[in-house]
Amino acid sequence: MDDSAPPSLPLTGHCLCGAVSFAVHAPLEASWYCHCTRCQRRTGTSSSAGGRVAAGSFELLSGAEHVHEWAASDGWAKCFCAHCGSHLWSRDPAEPDRRSIRLGVLDGDPGIRPAARQFTAYAAPWEPLPDDGLPRYPERLPAAERTRLGDRRA
């Protein structure tokens, strides 16, 4: 664990075209890479890096009318800008205040680093998993591990 200073709050972010902007008023609780095929198809990359947002800390600043969602019957809603296509966050349909922000849409250092890799059984064959020492889980991170990772800050 790095003892660097916490991130400057609020964390801010926006989509590629700038139509949607948001703020996060508390440090992200945890972060990990997801290698599931849904994330691969949604992002066009081998994995998605996200950070769990503390309940009640997310604020949509502009562009609510541009935020659209897609949700599979067995997963979180994937929220994106309908104008430019940027994937912004995922939202738990059962608890709408639970979100995971895509780290790539944040304006600065999120103050946290991905601390594990989940769904590695589905990793893209064209990009080998790096030898970065992060724990690997062939399926979803176990709940206890998601809680433990909440303490790993940048």
pLDDT(80) > 60: yes
pLDDT(2) > 70: no
Report yes or no on 66 lying in a domain. Answer: yes
Total number of domains in the chain = 1
62 versus 38: the higher-pLDDT residue is 62
pLDDT(138) > 90: yes
Report yes or no on 154 lying in a domain. Answer: no
| CATH number, position 43 | 2.170.150.70
CA distance 27 to 85: 26
CA distance 71 to 84: 19
Residue 120 has what pLDDT? 97
Report yes or no on 3 lying in a domain. Answer: no
Residue 64 has what pLDDT? 98
Report yes or no on 117 lying in a domain. Answer: yes
Domain of residue 93: give its range: 11-125+134-149
Percent over 70 (pLDDT), the chain: 93
Q: Which residue has 């664990």 as its token pair?
A: 1
Token representation of residue 92:
């738990």
pLDDT band at 150; cut points 50, 70, 90: low
Report yes or no on 1 lying in a domain. Answer: no
Residue 105 has what pLDDT? 97
pLDDT(1) > 80: no
